[in-house]
């Protein structure tokens, strides 16, 4: 069989690429992107429902961001902020401090990735509280450095073979309402998960030795799952009653993704410390840890410096990104288009019993695919759906094997979104008619 240009490049790359660096889905080589559309090496176009893993909320190569990058690159590409300040980073720090959902004096520290920003939460929490333990949640993805992988719990392959991980990390079950049996009330569900949360503290974990509880208020890679409000209120109170920092990870869900600037604003709570990354610089490597000033004052220089973190080009891109989010009202747009998407998938759910829970928080959705008889996750059907969508020119991947991940750039047009809905309609009807089959690499697809 004649190979297309994508496959030829992948064959050559596969001879040298380390397997742990790519999660397999489709034979796609991204050649270019504009807004919500990607073009591959053969010139085929796709509407992008992944947004580079929620890292391009402003869309691919937004002209304002491109212009800012080019202008800054002509001035200076890099001088390490670890030694000397630069103007775009200083401006961005002030903007982020104002935007952060934390009242009172706030400080900002730079990183290159969501992962190292979450490492910074561990460092600051331990330094500030002088306590060792960190509590995190099952289903969490906080990153791939040793610190952030240690507080994550979303894939066995992420902890397999690489231990020992960071000590003094305790994981508790994330309250995933999509797992609530129909005959259980939400209150009972919250009580049940709250009991599970308290168990470590009642049996082996001295509460006065816990530095921070870190949570994604809405889990991203865990399946786009929103913790119940009552659970979050209890968690916040528990943390503050015991001198524990309430830390949140906004790397995936921040910056308008959920229809609000920050996902924690769905709960009316303020974190003590938080992280932001991914979309902050429209995909250039930049992250930040933001927290109450007294917490970020607890570490001495150079405990959290990186040569390129807060680099002039990435921070210029981030200032331009914030301009675009503000000027194009992307937060409001996310909320509005998310409602359209929820309506569309709800209608499809009425037609097809293989569609389970549908949940959108802004333009940010999880659609579960289940076995119609058992109502259990159906990863084969999920793989058939995402592969067919790929053939039809839509990039959509799965989370946890059976959740369709719907996170397009927030600049996606309504016309492009309608095109996506049409492709889903066709795909769902083909699945129902038994016309879809698994792609050859199905057993390797996904996390
Ligand atoms: C919630 C969350 N935190 C942290 C990270 C890690 O970010 P990075 O891959 O930039 O290190 C991710 C990446 O998917 C994420 O979704």
Alpha helix (H) residue ranges in 113-205 = 114-129, 146-150, 186-203
Q: Give the list of residues 6+ apart from residue 71 with CB closer than 8 angstroms, or none.
A: 316
The boundaries of the domain holding residue 435 are 5-58+329-444
Give yes or no: residues 433 and 399 share one domain.
Answer: yes
CATH value at residue 431: 3.90.1150.10
Domain endpoint, select from 327, 362, 395: 327
CB 46 within 8 A of CB 394: yes
Give yes or no: residues 344 and 278 share one domain.
Answer: no
Give yes or no: residues 276 and 366 share one domain.
Answer: no
139 lines ligand 1 (CB under 6 A): no
Give yes or no: residues 104 and 242 share one domain.
Answer: yes
Q: Please state whether the peptide bond connecting residue 164 to the residue before it is cis, i.e. omega within 30 degrees of 0.
A: yes
Give yes or no: residues 37 and 133 share one domain.
Answer: no
Give pLDDT, residue 444: 86
Give yes or no: residues 256 and 368 share one domain.
Answer: no
- Block residue for tokens 């990039």: 395
Please tell me what DSSP assigns to residue 43. S
Tokens of 233: 């209120």
| Cα angle for residues 135, 138, 142 (degrees, 5° grid) | 70
113 lines ligand 1 (CB under 6 A): yes
152 lines ligand 1 (CB under 6 A): no
Give pLDDT, residue 441: 84
Give pLDDT, residue 123: 98
115 lines ligand 1 (CB under 6 A): yes
Stretch (H or E) spanning 232: helix 229-241
Give pLDDT, residue 443: 84
As a whole number of Å, the end-to-end CA separation of the chain is 28
Residue 221 CA: which ligand 1 atom is closest? 16
Give pLDDT, residue 17: 97
**Alpha-carbon dihedral sign for residues 22, 26, 30, 34:** negative
Helix axes 414-432, 330-351, angle to 10 degrees: 20
Give yes or no: residues 248 and 362 share one domain.
Answer: no
Domain endpoint, select from 269, 298, 327: 327
Give yes or no: residues 74 and 202 share one domain.
Answer: yes
Give pLDDT, residue 256: 98
Give pLDDT, residue 121: 99
277 lines ligand 1 (CB under 6 A): yes
State which of 110, 114, 225 you would mutate to test the pocket of ligand 1, scoring each by most atoms of that ligand within 8 A of its C-beta. 114
53 lines ligand 1 (CB under 6 A): yes
**Alpha-carbon dihedral sign for residues 198, 199, 203, 206:** negative
388 lines ligand 1 (CB under 6 A): no
Residues of the chain short of pLDDT 70, as ranges, are none
How far, in Å, is the centroid of ligand 1 from the Cα of 142?
A: 5
Alpha helix (H) residue ranges in 264-376 = 293-296, 312-327, 330-351
């Amino acid at each position: 069989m004649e190979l297309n240009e994508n496959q030829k490049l992948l064959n050559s790359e596969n001879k040298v690429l380390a397997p742990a660096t790519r999660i397999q889905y489709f034979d796609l080589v991204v050649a270019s992107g504009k807004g919500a559309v990607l073009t591959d090496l053969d010139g085929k176009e796709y509407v992008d429902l992944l947004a580079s893993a929620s890292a391009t909320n402003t869309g691919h190569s937004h002209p304002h961001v491109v212009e800012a990058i080019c202008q800054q690159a002509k001035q200076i590409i890099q001088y390490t902020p670890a030694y000397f300040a630069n103007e775009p980073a200083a401006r961005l720090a002030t903007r982020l401090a104002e935007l952060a959902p934390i009242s009172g004096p706030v400080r900002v520290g730079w990183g290159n990735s969501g992962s190292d920003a979450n490492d910074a939460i561990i460092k600051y929490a331990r330094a500030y509280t002088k306590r060792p333990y960190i509590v995190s949640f099952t289903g969490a993805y906080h990153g791939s450095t040793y610190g952030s992988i240690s507080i994550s719990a979303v894939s066995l392959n992420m902890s397999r073979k690489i231990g020992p991980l960071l000590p003094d990390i305790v994981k508790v079950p994330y309250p995933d309402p999509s797992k609530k049996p129909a005959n259980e009330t939400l209150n009972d569900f919250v009580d049940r998960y709250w009991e599970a949360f308290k168990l470590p503290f009642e049996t082996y974990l001295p509460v006065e030795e816990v530095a921070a509880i870190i949570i994604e208020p809405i889990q991203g890679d865990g399946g786009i799952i929103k913790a119940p409000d009552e659970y979050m209120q209890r968690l916040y109170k528990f943390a503050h009653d015991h001198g524990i920092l309430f830390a949140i990870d906004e790397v995936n869900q921040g910056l308008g993704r959920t229809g609000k600037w920050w996902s924690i604003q769905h709960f009316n709570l303020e974190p003590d410390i938080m992280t932001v990354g991914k979309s902050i610089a429209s995909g250039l490597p930049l992250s930040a840890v933001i927290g109450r000033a007294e917490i970020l004052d607890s570490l001495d220089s150079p405990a959290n410096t990186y040569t390129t973190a807060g680099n002039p080009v990435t921070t210029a891109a981030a200032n331009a990104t914030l301009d675009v989010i503000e000027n194009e009202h992307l937060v409001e747009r996310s909320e509005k288009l998310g409602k359209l998407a929820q309506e569309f998938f709800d209608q499809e759910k009425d037609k097809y019993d293989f569609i389970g829970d549908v949940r959108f928080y802004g333009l940010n959705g999880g659609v579960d695919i289940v076995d119609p008889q058992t109502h259990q996750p159906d990863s084969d059907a999920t793989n058939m759906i995402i592969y067919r969508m790929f053939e039809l020119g839509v990039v959509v991947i799965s989370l946890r094997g059976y959740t369709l991940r719907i996170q397009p750039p927030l600049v996606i047009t309504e016309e492009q979104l309608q095109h996506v809905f049409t492709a889903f309609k066709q795909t769902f009807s083909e699945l129902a008619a038994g016309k879809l089959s698994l792609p050859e690499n199905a057993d390797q697809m996904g996390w």
